[in-house]
A and B are shown apart, each in its own frame.
Chain A
Amino acid sequence: MSAVDIVFYVNAAIAIYAGWRVFVTDSMVRASFFLLISFLAVGVIMLLLAAIYLGVALFFMMAVEMMVMALFMVMFMMNPAGLNPMKMVHQEKVAIGVGVAAFLALGAVALFGEFPSRPVPEGLKPVVSLGHELLGDSMLVFESAGVTLLATMIAVVMLTSHRGRFGDANEGSQPPGLEPGGDPADKPPEDEGGGHHHHHCH
């Protein structure tokens, strides 16, 4: 049990526990922070595995991402503070079965699989080699990922804009009922145009 091992086991326990807590907390904001913690623990394990760049990237990315997620939580959820118990699940048995089965299957792969033991050679600079790879041999892959991300941004903006090509984005929508199957909680917002359609001639 070296120090590295101890750090690893601690972080592994944190990662798994936090990952589990994500789905049993009452507050969604808390859930997103648990997820962040889980990611951070995994990032530490990556650092232990000498994947320095990846671990750090994971820290930054997840920190930001979880902030965004928390924002969304506050935006959508009726119970962001977790003041009353919250359990919004469906098909839980199936989900538990799937989870356990996946864990058992992959664990079996880990236990019974025969993998070659080729650790990182001494003196390898992981960040440098990754940089050469990204902007060298695998440049096409890297650039494809970049372009894909760009396309994603454009698509996201398209999807979330208030006004689409065919009129109001929430036209014909109805707010959900206060109770399931009840009256709408709110009237749909009146169209300031008085219901006339905009025909843009392109």
Chain B
Amino acid sequence: MTLVTLLIVAAALIGIGLYGAFSQQSFVMLMMGLELILNGAMLAAVSFWALTGGGAPEGQLLTIIAMAVMAIEMAMGFALVISVYRAKQADMTEALDGLKH
């Protein structure tokens, strides 16, 4: 359990999350991708705190902030999904073509 292996795991999670975020049509699945990205990021942050930060508490704080961001993202995402569904009866990103020229 070295920093390198931890970071590679985090990188793998971020890569998978990015794939999801970029490829999924469904809003919810897309948000899962985002969750995975944040997952990897939190893992990397904790790894840095534990192995290079010398126990500085700001490392943990950063992770806490990331969690908060995750929560906000989830809440806002679902709210937007609901409002989109209300308006368009759709849960796919393709439905949001209001900006189409």
Contact = CB atoms under 8 A, between A and B. Distances in A.
Tell which of A19, A51, A54, A94 has the most Cβ of chain B within 10 Å. Answer: A19
A119 to B, nearest CB: 5
Interface in B5-59: 5-26, 28-29, 31-33, 35-36, 39, 42-43, 46-55, 57-58
Interface string B47-74: 1111111110110110111011011101
Interface string A107-142: 101110001111111001010011011100010011
A181 B79 CA distance: 26
Contacts of B54: 118-121
A115 B28 contact: no
B76 interface: yes
A156 interface: yes
Chain B interface residue number, banded: 35 or more
B97 interface: no
Interface of A is mostly: helix
A44 to B, nearest CB: 11
B14 A76 contact: no
Contacts of A115: 3, 48, 51-52
Given A54-B60, A61-B71, A120 B50 contact: yes
Given A156-B78, A176-B88, A45 B6 contact: yes
Interface of B: 1, 3-26, 28-29, 31-33, 35-36, 39, 42-43, 46-55, 57-58, 60-61, 63-65, 67-68, 70-72, 74-76, 78-83, 85-95
